[in-house]
């Protein structure tokens, strides 16, 4: 069993930190190989980090933060005491089930630049496309 995996898969904090690494990497335009080369790792190891399958050591997280030019706390943003308490009680502290892709990150980055009306129209378009996809799959 890979480190960072319990009965139900990777620990939620490991998944959260890995997702934050993935989001920042994509936002900066790097691929997994680029990050791996900078850290002296393979892209496969970066994949495992990003999925939370392998825990990121403190020293590697420090190296990643320096490479991305962010504070190490960046990777823990979005975690709260209430969420961590919920995880300890067996609940889901937060949801990270949707995949981070260049497209989802870019949509999230560009959406605030739109007017409220444009954001509403974009949301309606995305919902309509998702509903049609669900109907086609049924």
The pLDDT value recorded for residue 1 is 41
Strand partners, 10: 5
Structure tokens at 2: 């890979």
Q: Of 50-54, 65-69, 132-136, where does mean pLDDT reach its minimum?
A: 132-136
Name the pTM for this structure.
0.66
Alpha helices by DSSP H, listed for 10-101, are: 12-27, 32-39, 43-51, 58-68, 81-88
pLDDT band at 83 (very low <50, low <70, confident <90, very high): low
The label of the residue with tokens 């799959």 reads 137
Tens digit of pLDDT for each residue in 88-124? Answer: 555 544 454 556 677 887 888 788 899 999 999 999 9
- Residue ranges and CATH numbers for the domains of the chain are 12-79 (1.10.260.40), 102-137 (no CATH)
The pLDDT value recorded for residue 37 is 97
């Amino acid at each position: 069993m890979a480190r960072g995996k319990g009965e139900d898969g990777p620990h939620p904090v490991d998944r959260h930190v890995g997702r934050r690494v993935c989001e920042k990497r994509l936002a900066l335009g790097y691929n997994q190989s680029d990050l791996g080369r900078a850290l002296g790792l393979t892209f496969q190891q970066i994949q495992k980090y990003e999925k939370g399958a392998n825990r990121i050591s403190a020293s590697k997280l420090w190296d990643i933060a320096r490479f991305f030019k962010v504070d190490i706390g960046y990777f823990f943003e979005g975690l709260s005491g209430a969420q961590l308490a919920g995880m300890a009680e067996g609940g889901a502290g937060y949801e990270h089930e949707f995949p981070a892709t260049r497209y989802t990150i870019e949509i999230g980055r560009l959406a605030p630049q739109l007017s409220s009306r444009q954001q509403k129209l974009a949301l309606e378009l995305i919902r309509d496309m998702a509903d049609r996809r669900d109907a086609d799959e049924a």
